[in-house]
């Protein structure tokens, strides 16, 4: 019985990033704050994808990230496929940093995340304004 519980716990723990990813993709929730008439929005999916691909890539499959992008596009009314490109580019950047980093550091991770977001958001904006 205890072994069964442990297995379930292990399964839930391993599926946690996946559950979180699809929860945010399906509901489209994002934290929005108004700061001096400027809207600031946090996209949790970017954070989840970047963190897990950087730290534990075996827990989040690239195929599922692609699928989460498609779901997010449908929910957010974006051209289908654009979020998948964003998330996969984020994966490329995270994967690149993973192979280049020798000693992991949380502050560096956040700085790299900001750089990655800057690149991905620029590509997202360029694609939308050029083609759609």
Partner 1 sequence: MSTESSRDDFIIAIRSAFLKKGNRQKFSLFTLIIISILVLSLEYFKTGPINQFRSITKDIIFRGSYIVSSPFKYVKDKYYLFQDHMSMYDEYSVLRDKNLDLDSLKKEVDFYKSENALLKKLIEERELFSKEYMLTKILLDKQSPYLKSVIINKGQKYGVKLGSAVKDRLYYIGKVVNVNFLSARVLLASDLNSKIPIIIEPSGINAILSGNGNDEYAELEYLPKNNEIKENEIVYTSGSDGTIPASIPVGKIIMQGNKHYVKFFSNLNQLNYVQVNK
Q: Which residues bind partner 1 (CB under 8 A)?
A: 22-23, 26-28, 30, 32, 34, 39, 41, 57-58, 61-63, 65-66, 69-71, 74-77, 79-82, 84-85, 88-89, 91-93, 95-96, 99-100, 127, 131-132
Q: How far is the CB of 1 from partner 1 (least distance, A)?
A: 29
Using N-to-C axis directions, what is the helix angle for 82-100 and 106-131, rounded to 10°? 150
Side-chain half-sphere exposure of 105, counting CA atoms within 13 A: 8
Identify the three-state secondary structure at position 61: coil
Q: Which is nearer to partner 1, 12 or 80 (CB)?
A: 80
Q: Which is nearer to partner 1, 19 or 118 (CB)?
A: 19
CB of residue 95 to partner 1, shortest distance in Å: 4
Nearer to partner 1, 5 or 11 (CB): 11
CA 37 distance to own-chain centroid: 27
- Say which residues have a Cβ less than 8 Å from residue 82's Cβ, sequence separation at least 6: 69, 73, 124, 127, 128
**Min separation Cβ 32 and partner 1, Å:** 5
Task: Give me the least distance between CB of 47 and partner 1, in Å please.
Answer: 16
The residues pairing with 48 across neighbouring beta strands, listed in sequence order, are: none
């Amino acid at each position: 019985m205890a072994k069964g519980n442990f297995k379930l716990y292990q399964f839930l723990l391993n599926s946690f990033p996946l559950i979180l990813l699809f929860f945010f993709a399906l509901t489209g929730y994002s934290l929005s704050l108004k700061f001096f008439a400027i809207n600031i929005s946090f996209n949790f999916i970017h954070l989840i994808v970047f963190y897990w691909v950087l730290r534990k890539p075996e827990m989040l499959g690239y195929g599922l990230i692609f699928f989460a992008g498609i779901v997010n596009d449908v929910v957010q009314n974006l051209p289908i496929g654009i979020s998948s490109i964003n998330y996969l580019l984020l994966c490329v950047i995270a994967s690149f940093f993973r192979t280049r980093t020798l000693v992991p550091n949380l502050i560096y991770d956040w700085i790299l995340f900001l750089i990655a977001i800057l690149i991905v958001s620029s590509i997202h904006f360029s694609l939308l304004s050029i083609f759609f």
